[in-house]
Structure 1
Amino acid sequence: MSLQLMKKMTKLNQKQTNKHPERLLLVGMIGAAHGISGLVRVKSFMTEPTDISNFDLLEDELGNIIKLELTGKRSGGALLSKLKGIESRNAAESMKGKKLYALRSALPNPSSEEWYYADLIGLNVFDRLKKHIGIIQSVVNYGAGDLLEISLTNGELLSIPFTRDLVPNIDINSGKITIIIPSQTTPVGKESSSLELENIE
């Protein structure tokens, strides 16, 4: 059975601020102004775009609080939104390009066998012999399924499918993930690898 990734964010950026030492996840971005009354277009990175309005706290890159109120209308795929304190087109235009972050703790807990991309990135990776071999650098999907990109301790980048066979154990609390590397897998950008690849047969 394949593992499932919670795709609440189709894009993933995370950061920390002095104000909030816990992670802030990128959930949207403010686009162009709409009309003359201060409305803006908002691109949501949530699986269900309107869920971006469920967060009590949104911040920009500088830690400024942004209050978002959706109008229920859309423009070119973006959500038309009202921002607290923004009453004119000029003010709305000054907000263009600002990224919207939410606290990781504000996201609902995933169910069993589901993980957020953000929770996997940065995990220490171990092989089945419990040897530390690297960290999760990113999670990508080019259309054929989710892939874990692993920054190996030898400096190489390894990409493996995110399946139960190859990822038998994930322990978010301890920051560890166990993988089994198929013998045919070659690190990205390398014709061969100095890492001893494991055979899953």
Structure 2
Amino acid sequence: MDQNNQYEVVVLFNGYSCNTEGGSQSNCTCTLIKGPKNIIVDTMTAWDGNRLQNALEEQGLKCSDIDYVVCTHGHSDHIGCNYLFQCAMHIVGFCISKNHYYFDFDFSTGKPYFIDQKVRVIPTPGHTMQDVSVIVSTNKGSYGITGDLFENKDDEDIWHTLGVDNAELQAKHRNEMLKYVDFIVPGHGPMFEARYIWDKRK
């Protein structure tokens, strides 16, 4: 097997979310996909630029080495450091752009956007109506990097209470994702095996 043509999924920062007396505190999970194309999924808040650059340097990469930025949706804790990646194609929800050019691609048809044969961006609306997720095939299994489609591994009883735009759609895409992948990288927690949720449902 050609190792140079393989992808590796590296969670740079685990997201979190918690309630406080004055509101809530949260940041998203930020994931690096290393391989033939280098891809960042969800870039945290605008105050995380130095942390993100340092984490990339630890992986032997600079911001200019990133080919794609994918933001699973447009909330501020998922798009804050997009400005760092000025050489990359940006996919923010259903919008695909580079520099001042916006590309015609209609995620609302349900079709995936293929970065290559092993990485695709799929529409998974529900949390917002323009949510997307990234599915990656690796030699260790398949990964779904889902943003807030999944809050964390123990969200089965709470996800629909978190201000979702369409709970029915989100439930549909959650169930489909669990069938597609071996591992899930959620929006606000550590990566987990998809079978964890199947086992809890038994």
For Structure 1 versus Structure 2, the TM-score category normalised by the shorter chain is under 0.3
TM-score relative to the length of structure 2 = 0.26
Higher strand proportion: 1
